[in-house]
Structure 1
Amino acid sequence: MQQSSAPPSPAQRLDLWLLHARFGRSRSACAQMATGGQVRINRQRVTKAHAQVRSGDILTLPAPDRKTVIVIRIISCAERRQSAPLARLLYEIIPEST
């Protein structure tokens, strides 16, 4: 018998992941952020809300103040939107190197 390799990490649509991680108040706002070219996945500019993200991907997106950007690493995906403390567990912020 042939053994299969490890299953690939689950992927999720970018707009859904942003919603579940609470980077937008609605799915349409998250989709608008993605289609507006404000998000990068692994340094590649994204213009489609259905772009797939997986754990380990690096996202660059506008900070809540919209004047700066933040860089985060996706830790996991969620099936639905949850409380802010639980949403914070979906990613880690990568500090700026000075």
Structure 2
Amino acid sequence: MSKQSTPELTKVRIDKWLWAARFFKTRNIAKQAIEGGKVHVNGQRAKASKEIELGMTLTIRRGWDELEVTVEGLSEQRRGAPEAQKLYNETNDSIEKRKLHSEQRKTLGILDLRTDTKPNTKQRRQIHRLKRELFE
């Protein structure tokens, strides 16, 4: 008997791919992120059943960071991190933006003055205005 070779994947569900590429710990968390609008495919909001192909551009928001990656490989199985990193390539713009936002957050953290009371409405509006100016 000869072994059957598995056919080369041409399309994979986006929730499976995000899990296999180790962006999210479980497929369920990946699905929730997609449904929550944190994942876009080629600039369009996606559904968990969306099938992705090589060369597609994904925008993934995780916490404070937003990554823009190009799909370089397809997989439905979760493997080790070095192998998962071969499935995508992060754009240079994305790397630079993440570094800039990280530095801004660190600077904001230094300026973060903790008080014993909650900010009142006026102070809260000022905080939101400052954050909007810093991160836009």
The share of aligned pairs that are identical, in percent, is 32
Which ranges of structure 1 fall in alignment gaps of 5 or more residues? 1-8
Say which of 81, 84, 87 aligns to 1:84. Answer: 81
Deviation at residue 81 of structure 1 after TM alignment: 0.4
**RMSD of aligned C-alpha atoms?**
1.6
Measured in 1, the distance between the counterparts of 2:26 and 2:76 equals 15
Measured in 1, the distance between the counterparts of 2:76 and 2:69 equals 19
The residue identity in structure 2 corresponding to 1:29 is I
Runs of 4+ in structure 1 over 3 Å off: none
Q: Which has the higher strand share?
A: 1
User: 1:82 aligns to what SS in structure 2?
Assistant: coil
The answer on whether the counterparts of 2:39 and 2:45 sit within 8 Å (CA) in structure 1 is yes
The residue identity in structure 1 corresponding to 2:48 is A
State yes or no: 1:25 paired with 2:28.
Answer: no
Deviation at residue 68 of structure 1 after TM alignment: 2.4
Which ranges of structure 2 fall in alignment gaps of 5 or more residues? 1-8, 97-136
The answer on whether the counterparts of 2:12 and 2:76 sit within 8 Å (CA) in structure 1 is no
